[in-house]
């Protein structure tokens, strides 16, 4: 079945710098890769997603890249701000398996003022 590994588990960056979170997946049939942000004590919320027919997608300060050959995808946050502090989860949805969106273990991002 699908397995999603996420690195790093914690990340601390200076405000204004960029942050990069990386995920790898095992099922080559996976075709949908969402990223969720979870603030402390809150619910996970989708911030960006990418499908397997696209290599890169950008939304203001956040972008996601996908390398299907290497089976990895990354989240890039530029010009980081204090409100970017949260736990970020990547996920993969294998096409062959009826629901099974598999989440990575999460990255706790801290923005230093």
Partner 1 sequence: NAGVTQTPKFQVLKTGQSMTLQCAQDMNHNSMYWYRQDPGMGLRLIYYSASEGTTDKGEVPNGYNVSRLNKREFSLRLESAAPSQTSVYFCASSEALRGDTQYFGPGTRLTVL
Q: Of the candidates 32, 63, 71, 72, which one interacts with partner 1 according to CB under 8 A?
A: 32
C-alpha dihedral sign at 82, 21, 33, 97: negative
User: Angle CA(71)–CA(102)–CA(65) in degrees, nearest 5?
Assistant: 35
Which residue among 3, 8, 9, 18 contacts partner 1 (CB under 8 A)?
Answer: 9
Length of the chain: 113
Residue from 21, 13, 18 nearest 113 by CA? 13
When the beta carbons of 60 and 113 are compared against partner 1, the nearer one is: 60
Which residues from 39-78 bind partner 1, rule CB under 8 A?
42-46, 49, 51
In whole angstroms, the minimum distance from the beta carbon of 60 to partner 1 comes to 18
Binding residue for partner 1 (CB under 8 A) from 23, 74, 106, 109? 106
Q: Are 110 and 11 in contact (CB under 8 A)?
A: yes
| Contact footprint for partner 1 (CB under 8 A) | 6, 9, 31-32, 34, 42-46, 49, 51, 89, 93, 95, 98-106
């Amino acid at each position: 079945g699908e397995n999603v590994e996420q690195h790093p588990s914690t990340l601390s960056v200076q405000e204004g710098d960029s942050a990069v979170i990386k995920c790898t997946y095992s099922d080559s049939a996976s075709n949908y890769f969402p990223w969720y942000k979870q603030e402390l004590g809150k619910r996970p919320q989708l911030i960006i997603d990418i499908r397997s027919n696209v290599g890169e997608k950008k939304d203001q300060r956040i972008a996601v890249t996908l390398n299907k050959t290497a089976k990895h995808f990354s989240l890039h946050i530029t010009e980081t701000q204090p409100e970017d502090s949260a736990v970020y989860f990547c996920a993969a949805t294998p096409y062959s398996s009826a629901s099974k969106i598999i989440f990575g273990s999460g990255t706790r991002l801290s923005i230093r003022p």
